[in-house]
Amino acid sequence: MAERKQTLIFKNKPYITSSYSMGGKKEGEGPMRKWFDRCLDDDMYGEKTWEKAESKMLKTAMTEVMKRAGKSKEDVGAILSGDLLNQLMSSSFMARDMHIPFLGMYGACSTMTESLMLGSVLADGRYSNNVIIGASSHYCTAERQFRMPLEHGNQRPPSAQWTATASGAMMLSYENRDDKLESDHKGNIKKLRKVRVECGTIGKVIDAGIKDANQMGSAMAPAAVDTILNHLQDMKRPIDYYDAVFTGDLGFIGKSIVTDLLADAGVDPKILDRVYDDCGTMIYERKQDVHSGGSGCGCSASIFAGYVYKKMVRGELSRVLIMSTGALLSTISPFQGESIPGIAHAISLETE
């Protein structure tokens, strides 16, 4: 315990038996387009409110992972999910339609790896099986709740990030007997690798004293660095043990802070340059006018459930550390003079 204080070891390494990644219109126009399983043409998704659209995106992801794993609702032990909306509106209303035991998670944008952590514990320890985990966010619901009415058309400062309209989900099972095949562009049939969850590091809440709610990357970066360093120390690993390390949604500013802080801690910047990236910098093109990059629970959820998972099953990445990052401010805490606490949870994935 004392040695691996923050890191949970999954002895049975549960399998991610299926995964689904969904984006909105703008996300489908970005560089991740081909990695999403589906992108919307209209972010309303046939619903009357943005909140219902977001909830439906999460439900689609949940339903699709079930379908892809060949499981029915009766096979699913539990759903663990969360989102940015007050009282987890997207998740709660998704769960109402699912009739599956449900546990709501809140870690702001760190929710994807938080639910992956606890879902893995449930499956690894055989407490539950075929556990579905996931997270979502929607630009319009987040703007309405955290910032300004969209109709107001306010200017966004260069440090602001764009909340991704996206959802991601995964199913965790303690066995995976099905070999999946895929044909490449030349028509060659290839056996897909299986992805397993090896261990996870629960983050501490770190507050660097940032008070500007348009500086989320700066607020979360120290928490990400704390979790990475504790993870590497707990597991006695160098950072390039991993083929790739991804933070959730620090954006361009946060990513450069992480790079600097890790260099200060003795990590070789050349190695970092090779292995480290941030979902917030990956999800949009610079020309998409998103300023400092993407954010929101759905940003890392959709990239981990899409890009990362697919790269792993195809054998392009073998060992990956994924880490969603959250800013735990509330809508009223800044008015009470509070700075922004950050948190990040890391999960080590590997292929077999």
State the residues that interact with a second copy by CB under 8 A. Answer: 1-2, 5-6, 8-9, 48-49, 51-52, 74, 77-78, 82, 85-89, 92-93, 95-96, 98-108, 114, 117-118, 121-122, 124-125, 127-129, 201-207, 328-333, 336, 338, 341, 343, 345
d(CA 170, CA 63): 10
Question: Which of 158, 209 has the CB closer to a second copy?
Answer: 209
In the complex, minimum distance from the CB of residue 197 to a second copy, in angstroms, rounded to a whole number? 12
Nearest approach in angstroms of CB 286 to a second copy is 30
In the complex, the smallest distance separating the C-beta of residue 345 from a second copy, rounded to whole angstroms, is 8
Cα–Cα distance, 113 to 202 (Å, whole number): 9
Q: Which residue type, as a one-letter code, is found at position 235?
A: M
Q: How far is the CB of 71 from a second copy (least distance, A)?
A: 12
208 Cβ partners below 8 Å, 6+ apart?
Answer: 218, 219, 221, 222, 339, 342
Least distance from C-beta 116 to a second copy, angstroms? Answer: 12
Residue carrying structure tokens 């032990």: 77
How far is residue 324's CA from residue 316's CA, in Å, rounded to a whole number? 21
Burial 192-226 (b: 16+ CB within 10 A, else e): bbbbbbbbbbbbeebbbebeebbbbbbbbbbbbbb
CA distance 304 to 32: 11
Tokens of 41: 């043409």
Maximum Cα interatomic distance, the chain, rounded to a whole number of Å: 60
Residue 56 C-beta: closest distance to a second copy, Å: 13
**Cβ proximity to a second copy, 89 vs 320, nearer residue:** 89
Nearer Cβ to a second copy, position 60 or 120? 120
Q: How far is the CB of 222 from a second copy (least distance, A)?
A: 12
Nearer to a second copy by C-beta: 37 or 43? 43
Whether 144 and 50 have beta carbons less than 8 Å apart is answered as yes
* C-alpha–C-alpha distance, residues 159 and 24, integer Å: 22
* Exposed / middle / buried, residue 336 (Cβ in 10 Å: 0-12, 13-18, 19+): exposed
Q: Give the whole-angstrom CA distance, residue 335 versus residue 214.
A: 14
* Closer by beta carbon to a second copy, 318 or else 333: 333
Q: Between residues 168 and 341, which has the closer beta carbon with respect to a second copy?
A: 341
Shorter beta-carbon distance to a second copy: residue 68 or 204? 204
Alpha-carbon gap, residue 218 to 129, rounded angstroms: 38
| Residue closer to a second copy (CB basis): 102 or 241 | 102
Considering beta carbons, is residue 19 or 141 the nearer one to a second copy? 141
By beta-carbon proximity to a second copy, the closer residue of 96 and 286 is 96
Please give the Cα distance from 118 to 134 (Å, whole number): 11
Q: Whole-number minimum distance, CB 201 to a second copy, in Å?
A: 8
State the minimum distance, in angstroms, from the CB of residue 162 to a second copy.
19
Distances from the Cα of 182 to the Cαs of 133, 222, 310, 317, in angstroms?
Answer: 24, 40, 11, 16
Shortest spacing between CB 101 and a second copy, in angstroms: 4
Q: What are phi and psi of 196, to 5 degrees?
A: -125, 150
The separation between CA 236 and the C-alpha centre of its own chain, rounded to angstroms, equals 25
